[in-house]
Amino acid sequence: MGGVIIRSAVPLFLSMVTSVIGTFVVTSVLGRHATVTLAAFAVMTAVLNPAAAAAVTGALRGLGPFVAPHRDDPVRAVPVLRDARWLTLLVGTAGALAVLAVPLLARVTGVPGEVVAELGPLPWLLALYLLVYASGGGATTVLVALGHSRQVLWSSLAGTAVMACCSLVLVPRLGLTGVGVAWLLWGTVGVVVANVCLRRAIGVRVGRGRPRPARIAELARVSVPLAATVLIKFGGLGVITFAASTTSARDAAAHAVLTTLTSLIMLASLSVAQASVPEVARAPDAAGARRANRVAALVALGGTAVGALVLLVVSDPVLALLTDDPGVRERAAGLLPLMLLASAADGAQAVQGIGLTALKKSAASMVYFAGGYGLMVVAAVPVAATWGLTGLWAALAVTNLVLVVLQGTGFHRHSARVGRAVVEA
């Protein structure tokens, strides 16, 4: 089973890496365009990233356990996919409205007028991007659930190539408008390629049937709590970032560097966790579901360990790429072991949490996250005032370790019904 999960996870990992590279290209080009442009982009992504991750990606990933049981006869999954397209249209619209509100939110929160003015038509272009992304109906998630994760890589490569090339050509001339056009084209190409691959995998056209409210609500019971969990995590990490900014400029910069490295270290765990969803969802009994989850956790920890080892060996040049301030590099290097512990624990809890989604119990994961991150949020500012950045990363590590226990216990408890559910059905 480990080999199956690894073969499925590798294309997902490479897909995530290509997306990170595309975002890096955009940020790099903007950084060379104008400081105010980069600042406006940061304001925009502060809303875009949570909206895309929660309202769209979170909802789309909830489709996996509904599709995976039809891997041997994918045509039977078509009604589910049609229901999913109605659900994603709803959540995509919510995300688009949040993005359109960015200029107003920026003015209310005191963002300088020149930064707000720099946004221009970008909110409208990115709102369209979210709608296009949502219109894909979770094609990439469905491909993974049906055992075609390699096809996801082609979608990511095509979309990222378009975004990177368009950014290099358009940003010097159009600024943030060029970014919006590039992002919209990225989403369009990615959705088109993914749906072409899905059509080949299923053998029939999915289309969009009449809405079935009861079935859409059934999908929403898994997808919406998953999206809420993502929002809780983004919100909690945002509070940690705010608390870090109250310590010192050097610590705030070091925290930003460590957060960037964390996102890279987490790629292996997230790809393995997503690859394990079909195996858990298709398990015939509790033992099979637990075995798939256990193997995924071990593979994810192994991948994290390799990434951590590489980072420790090449930490000096990596940190030099992220900051030219010796003080910030020294501070980040000192906290690197603590960051790696927090990241390893975060990866482990992610496997357990996504395992709960595979069992259609994402609401339980949401409750665990609300409790763990809620306590961390309450303690963040006092911890920062007493123990500084070291205390914040220690609090994050402890929170993630607690979540490992909560999510793991929850998975064990809910997986006990896998065999019973089959018998009762």
**Residue 237: predicted pLDDT:** 85
**Residue 336: predicted pLDDT:** 94
Distance, CA of 158 to CA of 148 (rounded, Å): 17
* pLDDT higher than 70, residue 81: yes
Nearest by Cα to 59 from 194, 219, 257, 282: 219
In this prediction, residues 207-218 reach a mean pLDDT of: 84
**Residue 376: predicted pLDDT:** 94
Q: What percent of the chain has pLDDT over 70?
A: 94
**Residue 420: predicted pLDDT:** 65
**Residue 32: predicted pLDDT:** 66
In this prediction, residues 271-277 reach a mean pLDDT of: 91
Pick the residue with more confidence: 207 or 370?
370
In this prediction, residues 60-64 reach a mean pLDDT of: 79
Which residues lie below 8 Å from residue 309, measured CB to CB, with a gap of 6+?
Answer: none
Distance, CA of 107 to CA of 393 (rounded, Å): 32
* pLDDT higher than 90, residue 350: yes
**Residue 37: predicted pLDDT:** 75
- Most confidently predicted of 85-89, 231-235, 276-280: 276-280
How many angstroms from the chain centroid is the CA of residue 107?
Answer: 28
Write down the mean pLDDT value for the chain. 86
Which pLDDT band holds residue 425 (cuts at 50, 70, 90)?
very low
Q: How many CB atoms lie within 10 A of CB 15?
A: 27
- Write out pLDDT tens, residues 150-194: 888 888 888 888 988 888 888 888 888 988 899 899 889 988 898
Q: What are phi and psi of 322, to 5 degrees?
A: -90, -25
**Residue 156: predicted pLDDT:** 85
Answer whether 364's CB lies under 8 Å from 410's CB: yes
Distance, CA of 339 to CA of 122 (rounded, Å): 34
Token pair listed for 263: 């996102």
**Residue 206: predicted pLDDT:** 78
**Residue 422: predicted pLDDT:** 42
Pick the residue with more confidence: 126 or 419?
126
**Residue 424: predicted pLDDT:** 42
* pLDDT higher than 60, residue 253: yes
Residue 210, classed as helix, strand or coil, is coil
Distance, CA of 127 to CA of 131 (rounded, Å): 6
Which residues lie below 8 Å from residue 83, measured CB to CB, with a gap of 6+?
Answer: 211, 212, 215, 216, 219
* pLDDT higher than 70, residue 286: yes
Q: How many CB atoms lie within 10 A of CB 312?
A: 13
Total residue count of the chain as it appears in this document: 425
Crossing angle between the packed helical segments 336-358 and 326-334, to the nearest 10 degrees: 60
